[in-house]
Structure 1
Amino acid sequence: MIGRLTGTLLHKAPPQLLLDVGGVGYEVEAPMSTFYKLPAAGDTITLHTHLTVREDAHLLFGFGSLAERSLFRDLIKVSAIGPKLALAILSGIAVDEFWQAVRAADTTRFSKLPGIGKKTAERLVVEMRDKAGQGQVSALAGGAGAVSAGPLQEARSALTALGYKPAEVDRLTDAVHEEGMRTEQIIQEALKRAAR
Structure 2
Amino acid sequence: MIAGLAGILEDRGTDALVINVGGVSYRVYAPLSTLSAVGEIGSSVRVRTHLHVREDNLTLYGFATERERELFELLIGVNGIGPKAALGLLSVLDPDKLVSAVMAEDVALLTRVPGIGRKTAARLILELKGKLETGPIAMPARGLEGDSQQILAALSSLGYSSIESMEALKAASAEADLPTEEKLRKALQHLAKAF
Is this a same-fold pair by TM over 0.5?
A: yes
Cα offset, 1:186, TM superposition: 8.4
* Percent identity of paired positions between Structure 1 and Structure 2: 36
Gaps of 5+ in 2: 142-151
Cα offset, 1:106, TM superposition: 1.0
Q: Distance in 2 between matches of 1:113 and 1:91?
A: 9
Equivalent position SS for 2:7: strand
Q: Which moved more, 1:89-98 or 1:100-109?
A: 100-109
Equivalent residue runs for 1:146-161 within 5 Å: 146-148=157-159, 154=164, 156=166
Are 1:66 and 1:146, in contact at CA under 8 Å, matched by a contact in 2?
no
What's the TM-score, normalizing by structure 1?
Answer: 0.76
Equivalent position SS for 2:50: strand
Cα offset, 1:136, TM superposition: 2.8
After superposition, the Cα gap between the structure-2 partners of 1:130 and 1:65, relative to the gap in structure 1 and judged at 3 Å, is: same
Equivalent residue runs for 1:91-106 within 5 Å: 91-106=91-106
Q: Who is 2:126 aligned against?
A: 126
In the comparison of the two structures, how many residue pairs are matched?
172
Q: Who is 1:34 aligned against?
A: 34
Are 1:66 and 1:142, in contact at CA under 8 Å, matched by a contact in 2?
no
Equivalent position SS for 2:37: coil
Equivalent position SS for 2:158: coil
Q: Who is 1:14 aligned against?
A: 14
RMSD: 3.0
Q: Who is 1:76 aligned against?
A: 76
Are 2:16 and 2:35, in contact at CA under 8 Å, matched by a contact in 1?
no
Tell me which of the two structures has the higher relative contact order, counting C-alpha pairs closer than 8 angstroms and 6 or more residues apart: 1
Equivalent residue runs for 1:108-127 within 5 Å: 108-127=108-127
Cα offset, 1:149, TM superposition: 5.2
Q: Who is 1:194 aligned against?
A: none
Cα offset, 1:148, TM superposition: 3.9
Q: Could you give the per-residue CA deviations for residues 26-85 of structure 1, whole angstroms, max 9, x where no partner exists?
A: 111001111111211000000000001111111000000001000000000000001111
Are 1:31 and 1:90, in contact at CA under 8 Å, matched by a contact in 2?
yes
